[in-house]
């Protein structure tokens, strides 16, 4: 039995564009291509796609995934390897949940007795279970941009990676402050923040208007992105989306 691209996209949640990209880089060629030019996938390709998505969820980049899959021979052994990685990810998420829980308790305690959090616990303990490299998964819907980010990230020192992560968080906080002040999404101050975001992306590769709009929509539609924005301020995900849309309407700077 074979499934066309549209059906595979529906079943897996992966866009047709991403499936085409996986084919173009040799990561997931279709079983065959019909006379109409449509790609068709069989069970073997669906299993391979499952492995790709599992490895992406674990934070591996596309070149790394290609290497892992190239070395695999037995599908059962491959799945056992993925299972071990998933168990490790479960443990990481458990550590992250414990970190957040401890931080909540420490914030409550600091408010009660007037002490700073750094007087209650070491600042580095705030980051147990959280590393900037884990956010690469958020670009899965934009594979070409994800690859560019991964290549750039490989050239950075750990300090520069950490600094970049802090700056992205600071950008989100500045937007939240503008939103809280009632600043319209198309105001100059908001536009300046979006301009900085866009210029940062275009330093890696060209980002056309439709792709930047899609990134804006993903702030709301992508669960991980939305959660990150909403953790800073309710409504921030939609505000970021609207700010990007306004920036694009104005002509991308």
* Residue 27: closest CA among 11, 45, 39: 45
The SS3 call for residue 234 is coil
- Average pLDDT along the chain, 253 residues, taken 10 residues at a time: 89 88 92 90 87 75 80 66 70 63 64 56 43 47 68 67 69 84 92 91 85 88 78 85 94 72
Main-chain dihedrals φ then ψ at residue 57, nearest 5 degrees: -65, -25
Q: Check whether residue 54 and residue 144 sit in a common domain.
A: no
Give the DSSP per-residue string, 66-106.
HHHHHH---HHHHHHHHHHHHHHHHHHHHHHHHHHHHHHHH
Residue 29, strand partner residues? none
In a domain, 127, yes or no: no
> Does residue 20 lie in a domain region?
yes
- Residue 39 sits in a domain of what CATH number? 1.10.1660.10
For residue 194, what is the domain's CATH number?
A: 1.10.490.50
pLDDT of the residue at 232? 73
For residue 58, what are the domain limits? Answer: 3-72
Global pTM value: 0.47
Strands (E), 38-188: 39-41
> How confident is the model at residue 97, as a pLDDT?
63
Is residue 87, in this structure, part of any structural domain at all?
no
What pLDDT score does 40 carry? 93
- Is there a single domain that holds both residue 151 and residue 243? yes
Max Cα–Cα distance, the chain, nearest Å: 73
DSSP per-residue codes, 171-200: HHHHHHHHHHTT--TTSHHHHHHHHHHHHH
Query: 246 and 177, same structural domain?
Result: yes
Do 149 and 44 lie in a common domain?
no
Residues 33 and 136 in one domain: no
* Euclidean distance between CA atoms 205 and 54, whole angstroms: 26
Do the strands 39-41 and 3-4 form a parallel or antiparallel pair, or are they unpaired? antiparallel
* Count: domains in the chain: 2
Tokens describing residue 234: 């309710």
Closest CA to 87 of 58, 116, 122: 58
Q: How far apart are CA 46 and CA 228, in angstroms?
A: 30
Does any domain span residue 243? yes
Asked if 242 and 178 count as a contact pair (C-beta separation under 8 A), the reply is: no
Which of these three, 32, 51, 72, is where a domain ends? 72
Q: Which residues pair with 32 in a beta bridge?
A: 40
């Amino acid at each position: 039995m074979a499934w066309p691209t549209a059906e595979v996209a529906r079943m897996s949640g992966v866009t047709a564009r991403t499936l085409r990209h996986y084919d173009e880089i040799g990561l997931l060629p279709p079983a065959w291509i019909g006379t109409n030019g449509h790609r068709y996938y069989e069970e073997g390709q669906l299993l391979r796609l499952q492995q790709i998505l599992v490895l992406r969820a674990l934070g591996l980049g596309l070149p790394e995934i290609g290497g892992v899959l190239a070395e695999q021979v037995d599908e059962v052994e491959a799945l056992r390897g993925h299972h071990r990685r998933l168990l490790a990810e479960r443990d990481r998420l458990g550590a992250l949940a414990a970190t957040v829980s401890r931080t909540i308790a420490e914030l409550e305690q600091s408010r009660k007795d007037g002490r700073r959090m750094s007087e209650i616990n070491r600042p580095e303990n705030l980051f147990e279970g959280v590393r900037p490299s884990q956010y690469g998964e958020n670009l899965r819907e934009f594979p070409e941009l994800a690859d560019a980010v991964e290549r750039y990230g490989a050239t950075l020192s750990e300090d520069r990676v950490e600094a970049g992560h802090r700056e992205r968080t600071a950008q989100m906080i500045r937007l939240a402050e503008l939103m809280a002040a009632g600043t319209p999404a198309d105001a100059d101050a908001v536009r300046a923040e979006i301009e900085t975001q866009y210029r940062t992306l275009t330093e890696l590769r060209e980002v056309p208007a439709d792709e930047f709009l899609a990134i804006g929509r993903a702030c709301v539609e992508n669960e991980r992105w939305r959660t990150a924005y909403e953790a800073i301020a309710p409504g921030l995900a939609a505000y970021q989306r609207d700010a990007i849309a306004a920036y694009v309407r104005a002509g991308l700077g």
